[in-house]
Structure 1
Amino acid sequence: MRWPRQLMSLLLLLALLAGPPLVLLTLIGPPIKGWPSTAQVGEWVQQPLTEQALTAALTIAAWLVWLMLAYTVAVRILIRLRETSAWLRRLPLPTPLQATASGMAGAAVFGVTTNALPTAPPHPISSGPVTLQDEASPDDPGEATHADGIGVSGGWLPRDVAEQVAAAAALVWLRRRRDYHPSPASRDDADLAPLPPTVTAVQAALADIPNPSAAPTPSNGMSALVEVLPAGGVGLTGPGALPIGRGLLVTALLAGQRHYPTTSLITTKAALASLLGPAAETLGERLPLTIVENLDEAAQIVHAANYSAEAHANTMRQDAPPSTAGHQQIVLLDQHDGDEPQMKHLVEASVATAAVVVALGDWPAGPTWHADSAGYLHDPHHPDATGPRLCVLNQMAATDLLAIIALPNPTPPDPTAPRSPLPDGGSTDLRLPRQVTRHEPRLPPSKPRQRLHLRVLGNPQLLIDGEPLTVRRSAALQILVYLATHPTGANTAQLTDAIWPGLPRRSLTGRLYTALSDLRGTIRAACGLHVIDHIDDRYHLNPAHVDVDLWHLNAAIHHAATTHINTHTAWQAVLDAYPADLAAKRTWPWLDPIREATRRRIIDLCVSLATAEPDPHQAFQLVQAGICIDPYNADLHKHASRTLTILGDHDAATELQDHYRQTLTRAGLDVTASHRLSPTTIRQ
């Protein structure tokens, strides 16, 4: 308790301030009893070191020391009052409606409970990584919420577009799983790099929604854009022209990832350069869009694509969904592209095919609208009309999002180039309790201690003597899992960057400390143990107080990979220690590289043991176990098919391949459309 010490400090301060004046006034009196006369001054000059003069000098010195002390205390009090006043000015006060509601609620529960009722904020504010776009404008209606969209550093995305981003990100990791080649000799983890920051910020924002199915379903981002644009094209000017253009680029390409309806994007080189800057040349070649030199070429492609879509629609089954016949074409232009005849030709083609033409700048062939930086378009002929809010992105955010849509870079990575450190899947060494030998004196039995077990494989849970402990904060649960996957510990910056990607660190330190304090308090109240240590500015799980299933798995993998006897027993121990993926069904973005690295260690072991196994039946069982761990890996299925062929079971080999193709098709990884994925396909 600090209040006794504070009270003693206050009493001491009062004694220092009041004591010396009382003593001086009582024993000596005031320092000066009137001004000295001329005769007294003359006597002092002739004989300065008299007893009276020395007493007066010491008295004056004592009063000066006391004045300095009083001045210091007064300055400190003024500084503290100023800080308190500034804090009170920043303190959010409830609105009149909130005050009335809180008063009514307090009156209703008065006498029943003493718990304080929290006051609702004036606007719904998410605790996840949602921020205002960095190009905000005065007409911005307010902070984005999860209900209508996701705000990230550098832009704002409608909810539909954000869902498509998360789906495309999931597809990236499925492709990496499909294309990985398990190697008994060495593992190539060059493709385990985390996704771009804007992508992880969107993923984290969506993962922060407790129940995504209960959230309102927004309108389709592409449909909302098409509905507000006039036929024949429109020009966009104003501070939001380029941000909305980038949002249109990303929205159209994400819409093209779906099976239905088909959306194609046509753009000129000049427009793409205006939107993406230096990244246009290298990134544009890998994007699923058509880049043209001039407007005549764009008009020809619009006509050709429309005829192809009509022919395709005529050959489809009668029971196909109505949307399968739809083919939406988007044309993005720069204001300096083409002359008047070319513009006229493109307008005619777009009107005939219902294509959407957007010029970044004035559009002589049609209307020009004002675009504000918040994502709203303003028709000068209808100033009071307000359309839907569109996606807005700066260059960095747009480049990050397009990176997960683009085809992989055909240039292989330089093996001599330095690589970023791989995610740590956990220590392979388990700290086992020291065993008592017969030469050591046995201590008398003590009261049994409670045992803490952290389970991170499958649904993360903290168990005390086998009973789950409720961790109230999502951030606190993330901290536990993050530290379990990083036995060497993590500092404040690493934790905040992982849990709240896309937000400035300076605004997250307090949030992290709150989550840590709540987590420590919950565990201490339940069992009295200190699980998280803070040493040298790094947080660690205390292995003496908590046991982690991931650490046992890593030890089992290490033992199976190095043992030369009882390999079947060691291999079975690995499978028994891996009941499910790391933090299964959690969509925390930082998990993906570590989750995949852990999965690869197991399938590498399966392939290594299968390669060395002389019995083909045992070899097939090993590979089949690897397929159960990762049903998307192509190399495992090829290995299993070859083994079945060696065994002479050709029907089983064919059935295995058919089942694998169906698995890829359901995930959106089929050969003919490997880049398509519905946002509801993968939500793990």
Structure 2
Amino acid sequence: MTPGRVWIVRTARLAGRVVRALGAATLLAALVAGLPTALIHGVGWPLPGHLPGLEEIAAVLLAPMSSSFLLDTLACLAWLLWLVFVRDVAACVLDVIRKARWPDPRGQGGPVRRVAAVLIGALLVAVLGRTAIAALANLPGPARPVGHTSVVADAPAGMTPAAGGHTSIEPPHSPVEPGVERVRPPRHGVHDSLWRIAQRRLGDGDRWPQIWDLNQGSTQPGGRVMTNPNLIHPGDLIRLPASGPPRAPAPPPGPTTPTPPSSHPAPSAPPSEPTAPAPATTPTADHAATEPAAGAVTWGSGEVFVSLGLAAAVSALLLRARRRHHARYRPGSGRRDDDLPTTPVVYQLRLAHLHAQHHNDDPEPDTQTDHTPGEPAAREHPHDPVQSTLAARTHPVPADPPSAGTQPSAPVVDIALDTSTHHADNATTNTAAGGTAVVALDLARVHGLGLLGPGGHAAARALLLTLLTTAVSAGEPVPSVLVPAGDLARLLGVPVPTTHLPDTLTVVADLETALATLDPHTPVPQQPTVLVASPPHEPHQQARLQQLLDNGAQHGLTALLLGQWRPGVTAYVTAGGRITATNPGLGEPLRGTRAFTLPETATGELLSFLRTTQPPVHHRTANHDAAPDTAQPSNAESGPDRLEITTNPPAPTPPAADADEHTHEPPPPVAADTNAVTPVPLVLTVFGAPALRWRPNPTQPDDALQDLSPALSNRLLELLVFLAVHPSGVSRHRIIDALWPEQPPRNPASVLRTILSRIRRALDTATGGAVRELVLAEHGHYQLDPAVIEVDYWNFAAAVTRRRATTTPEQRTHACQAIVARYGGPIANGLDAEWLTTARETTRRDALDAVAALARAQVETNPADTLDLLETARGFDPHNELLYRDIMRLQHVLGHHHAISRTLTLLQTHLAEIDTTPTTDTINLAQHLRARHTGISVEASTQSPAT
């Protein structure tokens, strides 16, 4: 700031102080001197000049009221009020002089005393300034009681300190013997607890179990026996363990939370009460809340505003659910219309996650920058597409899962997006692109989070979904959520049947039932528990809940309260999602951030989605009534010696007119003619990891080709794969819809020209000018040039087309053999795009249908080759139980009985990847096949660790 501007600011401040001083002095003088002056000159002496007799008093009372009598009466009242006001002004002035402190307007004396205190305080601030007042407050004065701390100077904007300006409970007045602590009475709605006693006397709240061990079963004043650590009463005498250094609590798995500095209030201090803040003076405050920011996902009018971590978790759950759904396909059935349905919010979150991944690889679709030739592109080739989605999570996942017997830790959840990039001392912040940071709050550490304001319910819905999804997708202990039915209906807008909710969310009748469920009379829970409810209004319920949260924090017990919660942290959320006021201390990192929010409809859809993504009924332990999973494969139609994949008729041939992604377009005829004469220079492999290779010499063998893939980014490879699975070419708008489904570029034609130019330059540099043009573009239609490139998918598609057009069993067998031989695994393994889901599943089912047709043709005459064929198919679909059951049947027929147990173990291993276990039919079949040979039950050898 320039010196001139500093001078202007200081002058304006001084002028403001002068105006305030003149206003306060004028009003004070008018009340102290002006009021009596006006009464003397305007009314005069209101009392009679002599002592009236009884006749005069009776005459005045019985006669009609005159105007002079009314004025005299009002004047007497005004004189009395003036005398009281002058007395209170004098008392406030004496307080300031003797005690050197700010006059408390909330002190005793009534409204007149408050007006006097406000005027004296305003005049004092205007004359001396706030800095001088703060210095006066720190001068030596009367001794304050131990444990009392003034919070007036430290109270943040928008917050009102508690009555009396104290932030801790008063110490007991009656002395107790050493080593004994008396339970303090509640103050400002905050009750004492064993955790707070341990924090206050031992320096570590997590040492409360040591206090409980000393006092369990002790007799308290009044004859009550202490039987529950969460039910202590004011006046109880608590024995303390021997003093010693506080033990360091074991860090919970996952993100760690730094210790707050000593300048923050202790957790045992009751926070001040948040009040509704004044409207924002900046006109763009709420407008900024509707703009998308890095690290967050938003669309529509801004009602859906969630973290990228939630989008990644939903994306991972969707992929896992699809894999379980696809694993139920019966080879040979020919079904192509049974995809897993997705709701709009799930689809949008999936696209947002994919866009974030593509953003890291290719930030702007319209950019002209190119990847440096010869430098490997930042590309992943994971074997498991689910694991690749977890790489974009906001928080790191622990390397090793917590072992059995360890205490669960409460989740650290994304709550808001900090656009000011300040880093909190007590909350985990993860800086995202663009200078923003995702603020993650440790719910157990704050001992309950309350959300107030018009946006409080929307923020609570986003937090609830973050709790339910992040742990599930990462394989961490899933929090058990308790919510009363009434509070759930208020969150979602309408009552929701329990059959539409995930099993991890338990609906109870009311808060009293939830508190009884949380009461830890049982051993330490094996999973974190979160209560979502309105704060209790009854004092005994409030004390019980507070002590549960205090004592159960180290066991992963926490609460999300739909209202103010004084013992923990309370945040005020505006309608635009801004957190404008919080408690001091642990709540300060949230102030000024934008909370993640979800509307009611989207929340209901996501809860139903979580229900559908749960493991099958035969595997999970459900706490809701659910219908049996009829989609699970069953072997009821086949005996132990009959293959299940051969019980269906041949797969029906799709209509020839259907030429979308669910069918295979025939490869261009030019490719076959060209390949028959001279090998083409480029080879594109789309099955498995995509790769583009160059043949410098036409006589060079395929295993000696030069790999050009490192010169291409993910976006360029994805375009080549998309064109490869459409041999006849595809229009521009279909390319844009597939590659940029969420945010299409402003100028699609220019973007495609840029990408094709990048491909051309990369090929020209890598091949030394031998190959330049790879894509034929004409009138908005794009196609790979078959005279320049050959694709493995084209040979597979040609075999599928021949199988559909065959008229004899021999032709069909040859076509099926070609399909099985040319299927090389999932299309573009390592690339993650929504359009690839259909293409991968279609080709996989084509290969499985070919396996079923070959097995049907040769199982009776050649069971050994059929077993080899099914083992090959198992590599196509490692989670399909039907294949494993048929493999075990063939192993029984061929006498390979010892391999049956190994096959079942392999199935259990693969199904664990998608959070399920073999069905009862499969286990019974394995036992039956083994028992037919040995007569010995193999129950012990077929038990899954997951069961």
TM-score, normalized by length of structure 2? 0.46
Q: Which residue of structure 2 aligns with residue 247 of structure 1? A: 462
Q: Which residue of structure 1 aligns with residue 912 of structure 2? A: 665
The SS at the match of 2:810 is coil
* CA–CA distance in structure 2, aligned partners of residues 558 and 397 of structure 1: 42
With over 3 angstroms needed to count, the CA separation of the structure-2 counterparts of 1:384 and 1:277, relative to structure 1, is closer
Shift of 1:508: 6.6
Task: Encode CA deviations 1:166-186: one digit per residue, 9 max, x unaligned.
Answer: 43233112212322222x243
With over 3 angstroms needed to count, the CA separation of the structure-2 counterparts of 1:451 and 1:219, relative to structure 1, is closer
Match of 1:654 among 891, 901, 922: 901
Match of 2:528 among 319, 323, 328: 328
With over 3 angstroms needed to count, the CA separation of the structure-2 counterparts of 1:509 and 1:350, relative to structure 1, is farther
Shift of 1:595: 0.8
The SS at the match of 1:358 is strand
Shift of 1:480: 1.8
1:290 aligns with 2:506: yes
Task: Encode CA deviations 1:366-388: one digit per residue, 9 max, x unaligned.
Answer: 76321365676841435992149
With over 3 angstroms needed to count, the CA separation of the structure-2 counterparts of 1:639 and 1:381, relative to structure 1, is same
Matches within 5 A, 1:22-41: none
Q: Counterpart amino acid of 1:294? A: D
* CA–CA distance in structure 2, aligned partners of residues 509 and 390 of structure 1: 38
1:151 aligns with 2:297: yes
1:186 aligns with 2:334: yes
Q: Which residue of structure 2 aligns with residue 127 of structure 1? A: none
Q: Counterpart amino acid of 2:448? A: G
* CA–CA distance in structure 2, aligned partners of residues 651 and 666 of structure 1: 25
1:167 aligns with 2:316: yes
Q: Which residue of structure 1 aligns with residue 838 of structure 2? A: 593
Counting aligned pairs with the same residue, the percent is 25
Q: Which residue of structure 2 aligns with residue 263 of structure 1? A: 479
Shift of 1:252: 1.3
Query: Which stretch shows the higher mean deviation, 656-665 or 266-275?
Result: 266-275
Aligned residues: 500
The SS at the match of 2:895 is coil
Task: Encode CA deviations 1:239-261: one digit per residue, 9 max, x unaligned.
Answer: 54234222211221124425543
Q: Which residue of structure 1 aligns with residue 395 of structure 2? A: 218
With over 3 angstroms needed to count, the CA separation of the structure-2 counterparts of 1:234 and 1:458, relative to structure 1, is closer
Q: Which residue of structure 1 aligns with residue 884 of structure 2? A: 637
With over 3 angstroms needed to count, the CA separation of the structure-2 counterparts of 1:651 and 1:256, relative to structure 1, is same
Task: Encode CA deviations 1:574-623: one digit per residue, 9 max, x unaligned.
Answer: 33322332101222232122212211111121122212321222221221
Task: Encode CA deviations 1:611-640: one digit per residue, 9 max, x unaligned.
Answer: 232122222122111101111111111121
Match of 1:574 among 800, 819, 822: 819
Match of 2:875 among 619, 623, 628: 628
8 Å CA contact retained: 1:491, 1:539? yes
Q: Counterpart amino acid of 1:353? A: G
Matches within 5 A, 1:115-514: 137=286, 144-145=293-294, 149-153=295-299, 155=304, 157-158=306-307, 160-182=309-331, 184-191=332-339, 196-206=347-357, 208-209=359-360, 210=378, 218=395, 222-224=411-413, 227=442, 233-238=448-453, 240-257=455-472, 259-277=475-493, 280-281=496-497, 284-286=500-502, 288-303=504-519, 310=524, 325=526, 327-334=527-534, 345-354=544-553, 355-362=557-564, 368-371=570-573, 378-382=581-585, 385-387=588-590, 391-395=596-600, 398=603, 401-402=606-607, 404-407=609-612, 423-424=661-662, 426-428=664-666, 430-432=668-670, 451-465=681-695, 466-469=705-708, 472-487=712-727, 489-503=729-743, 506=746, 511-514=751-754
With over 3 angstroms needed to count, the CA separation of the structure-2 counterparts of 1:626 and 1:430, relative to structure 1, is farther
Unpaired segments ≥5 residues, structure 2: 1-283, 361-377, 381-387, 398-409, 414-439, 614-625, 632-657, 696-704, 920-947
The SS at the match of 2:352 is helix
Shift of 1:190: 0.8
Matches within 5 A, 1:81-120: none
Q: Counterpart amino acid of 2:792? A: D
Shift of 1:266: 1.7
* CA–CA distance in structure 2, aligned partners of residues 216 and 434 of structure 1: 46
With over 3 angstroms needed to count, the CA separation of the structure-2 counterparts of 1:288 and 1:215, relative to structure 1, is closer
Shift of 1:662: 1.7
Task: Encode CA deviations 1:516-544: one digit per residue, 9 max, x unaligned.
Answer: 44335656865243523344x54444445
Shift of 1:573: 2.9
With over 3 angstroms needed to count, the CA separation of the structure-2 counterparts of 1:475 and 1:578, relative to structure 1, is same
Matches within 5 A, 1:604-615: 604-613=849-858, 614=860, 615=862
Shift of 1:552: 1.0
The SS at the match of 1:587 is coil
The SS at the match of 1:497 is helix
Q: Which residue of structure 2 aligns with residue 12 of structure 1? A: none
Match of 1:603 among 843, 848, 853: 848
* CA–CA distance in structure 2, aligned partners of residues 546 and 241 of structure 1: 58
Shift of 1:329: 1.2
With over 3 angstroms needed to count, the CA separation of the structure-2 counterparts of 1:365 and 1:383, relative to structure 1, is closer
Q: Counterpart amino acid of 2:902? A: E
Query: Which stretch shows the higher mean deviation, 457-466 or 149-158?
Result: 149-158
Unpaired segments ≥5 residues, structure 1: 1-134, 313-324, 414-419, 437-444, 673-684
The SS at the match of 2:479 is strand
8 Å CA contact retained: 2:774, 2:784? no
Shift of 1:511: 4.2
8 Å CA contact retained: 1:378, 1:386? no
Q: Counterpart amino acid of 2:357? A: L
With over 3 angstroms needed to count, the CA separation of the structure-2 counterparts of 1:160 and 1:481, relative to structure 1, is same
With over 3 angstroms needed to count, the CA separation of the structure-2 counterparts of 1:365 and 1:603, relative to structure 1, is same
- Per residue, is there more helix in 1 or in 2? 1
* CA–CA distance in structure 2, aligned partners of residues 215 and 189 of structure 1: 31
With over 3 angstroms needed to count, the CA separation of the structure-2 counterparts of 1:593 and 1:307, relative to structure 1, is farther
Shift of 1:663: 2.0
With over 3 angstroms needed to count, the CA separation of the structure-2 counterparts of 1:520 and 1:339, relative to structure 1, is farther
With over 3 angstroms needed to count, the CA separation of the structure-2 counterparts of 1:469 and 1:260, relative to structure 1, is closer
Give the number of the structure with larger relative contact order, counting CA–CA contacts within 8 Å between residues 6 or more apart: 1
* CA–CA distance in structure 2, aligned partners of residues 512 and 267 of structure 1: 51
1:547 aligns with 2:790: yes
8 Å CA contact retained: 2:296, 2:306? yes
* CA–CA distance in structure 2, aligned partners of residues 431 and 359 of structure 1: 67
Q: Counterpart amino acid of 1:191? A: D
TM-score, normalized by length of structure 1? 0.62
8 Å CA contact retained: 1:454, 1:461? yes
Task: Encode CA deviations 1:326-380: one digit per residue, 9 max, x unaligned.
Answer: x321122257x87666555544444443332223344588763213656768414
Q: Counterpart amino acid of 1:484? A: A
* CA–CA distance in structure 1, aligned partners of residues 917 and 665 of structure 2: 37
The SS at the match of 1:196 is helix
